Structure 1
């Protein structure tokens, strides 16, 4: 078991720890366990967006899946970047207790969401070239209680990759 897996296992086992509602998942990098609630890319395949420059196209369902996975993670990273642009306290290391850091991050995110809701035009958006996407997770959903690699989860990822591949091939044949 890798270090990342131990961190996740510890995080979800705590009383007020990480909550992953069933039916949802975190996009993780290849160092994490591909198990229920934690979706990783395929190992040994192109992944990072810069590897797709110069109009390179995917050669397999695994490469296409990794391309889309990387793009989605990039959007998430851009959201964190957006928060860091707005709130200087998030840009530097802090020596606050973890409990306080979590409250600071939550407060910054809440203020950010309030600003977005109340302002007809946010000037900070002009500095970003992609739209900010929000998703709502049900508060009372059943949550994942343990992390382990499973045949069912790997099959689900393979089926998702195959569906993406089929749709991509069909869209290329239409043009």
Structure 2
């Protein structure tokens, strides 16, 4: 984060979020301490020495900035996926949060748009929870993920192919080199669709990688309580957006192969539950057929 972006963030937190400094610590120093903890994954005692503050002061201002940043949340459409972030939970809950490799993590749902922003995030679910269940929770909770009928998110095979969520075909493989080699190397319409789907949706994997690279607190074993940790995860996503918007660091590839993102059907109602249907399955098949033969036509011209 450069100085200009830092100044913009402080102004946002002061004017929009209502963050107020004290006689001893101004807003800029509060935010600097907060960002230092997220970016370097250091404990309060380290910040206390570096900023010459009392431990209680560091803790109090950390939570103040944490709460204010959470007020800057936003919503939109895009691709979605889950990622795993290490957390600290009670001993009795550890089996539910334990990954196969033994790490204790939470399953975080993230939604990413074509501008390079995360537009929805839902941390807190156990590692053992199926992605489809996390998604069901996301769209059913108050102020949850908004999905208008007639539009969809791209998602991977861990999710059901249902209205509002376009998944690839199961069991249809392709070579990753096909995604970047140009032309239509796939032998079937479904393989071709899966290749294009992967290429369009893979940007969210890159975004998760950049997010974790930027905020070290998302990479290491957490020493914060679970409730605080899930709030910090959300804040890291929001700060990612601010840095992206103000510094123009994240750029979507101009030559990215995209799955047709036009509306699937006509309607303005929201999707409030996940339900498979023959209509949605047939619509995907028609979309795949049209995409494949449009590509064949262009290649033969």
* TM-score, shorter chain, exceeding 0.5: yes
**Residues 34-53 of structure 1: matches in 2 within 5 Å?**
34-47=161-174, 49=176
Is 1:88 matched with 2:220?
no
Could you give the per-residue CA deviations for residues 113-170 of structure 1, whole angstroms, max 9, x where no partner exists? 33233336x4xx6xx9957x9xxxxxxx743111111111111211211121122101
Contact 2:179 2:199 survives alignment (8 Å): no
User: Aligned partners of 1:148 and 1:173: how far apart in 2?
Assistant: 39
Give unmatched runs, 5+ long, in structure 1.
134-140
Structure ranking higher in helix proportion: 1
Match of 1:31 among 158, 173, 181: 158
Match of 1:67 among 174, 191, 195: 195
CA separation of 1:90/1:20 partners in 2, compared to 1, >3 Å: closer, same or farther?
Answer: farther
1:105 aligns with 233
Could you give the per-residue CA deviations for residues 70-125 of structure 1, whole angstroms, max 9, x where no partner exists? 112211111111111211122235365665445323322332333233336x4xx6
User: Aligned partners of 1:73 and 1:119: how far apart in 2?
Assistant: 24
CA separation of 1:142/1:82 partners in 2, compared to 1, >3 Å: closer, same or farther?
Answer: farther
Q: What secondary structure does 1:23 align onto?
A: coil
CA separation of 1:54/1:13 partners in 2, compared to 1, >3 Å: closer, same or farther?
Answer: closer
Q: What secondary structure does 1:113 align onto?
A: helix
User: Aligned partners of 2:150 and 2:245: how far apart in 1?
Assistant: 28
User: Aligned partners of 2:196 and 2:161: how far apart in 1?
Assistant: 16
**Residues 9-20 of structure 1: matches in 2 within 5 Å?**
9-20=136-147
CA separation of 1:28/1:169 partners in 2, compared to 1, >3 Å: closer, same or farther?
Answer: same
TM-score, normalised to structure 2, is 0.45
Q: Shift of residue 173 of structure 1?
A: 0.3
2:297 aligns with 170
Contact 1:49 1:71 survives alignment (8 Å): no
2:246 aligns with 118
Q: What secondary structure does 2:239 align onto?
A: helix
Root mean square deviation of aligned Cα? 3.3
Q: Shift of residue 38 of structure 1?
A: 1.6
Larger gyration radius, structure 1 or structure 2:
2
User: Aligned partners of 2:192 and 2:207: how far apart in 1?
Assistant: 23
Structure ranking higher in strand proportion: 2
User: Aligned partners of 2:245 and 2:232: how far apart in 1?
Assistant: 20
1:138 aligns with none
Q: What secondary structure does 1:34 align onto?
A: coil
Q: What secondary structure does 2:275 align onto?
A: coil
Match of 1:159 among 268, 286, 300: 286
1:21 aligns with 148
Q: Shift of residue 12 of structure 1?
A: 2.6
User: Aligned partners of 1:82 and 1:155: how far apart in 2?
Assistant: 36
